[in-house]
Amino acid sequence: MGKYIDELKNNKKLKKEKKLVDYTWIIKISVIAFTLSVVFSLLSETVMPKVNLWIGIIILVLFIGIGILFDMVGVAVTAAEESPFHSMAARKVRGAKVAVKFKKNADKVSSFCNDVIGDICGIISGSTGAILAITISSSLQVDALLVSLLVTALIAALTIGGKAMGKSFAVNKSNIILYEFSKIVSLIYNPKK
């Protein structure tokens, strides 16, 4: 068993080793997460009480959908192959350079998509659901605890089920998802290398 682990370690050394812990990235991503959380929470807390029930439900579904979408992108970046994008970049295909950059930084892109955007959307959908539960219970004169439990369970089921479905799709279609996402990102970002 020990020789197999040594073999794996030696094989890993053949690859270009990155710093084990990038503290600058950790600080940046934490600041980004904090800022986005404040902005999205503020928007959610100020907008949600003022909208009608159906618009609130649409906003909730939108947050859940964004979380699922970014979770898929994070998985796709990790699972995609880099070589087709080098070939596409050599032919100057739009988005290919971005895809190569994302793939080379798959750990950071995945962390941003899955952890920052995905988790923030989960938190915001929870607070949005709480506001919706209060609205539903007061307008229908139903027990607030019962409505809150049902809304929370529904949000959890949609989020977890959507992410489970999205993950298997992302693994199977990783190159296509990375390419399409990179094409969109290339409209606002063009890497130097």
Q: Per residue in 27-51, pLDDT tens?
A: 998 998 899 888 888 887 888 888 8
Residue among 147, 149, 175, 151 at smallest CA distance from 75: 175
pLDDT digit string (tens) for 61-120? 999 999 999 999 999 999 999 999 999 989 999 999 999 999 999 999 999 999 899 889
DSSP letters, 119-136, are HHHHHHHHHHHHHHHHHH
Show me where the domains of the chain are located. 23-183
Three-class DSSP category at 170: helix
Reported pTM: 0.82
Structure tokens at 191: 């890497």
Instruction: Please tell me what DSSP assigns to residue 48.
Output: G
Residue among 130, 123, 120, 127 at smallest CA distance from 150: 130
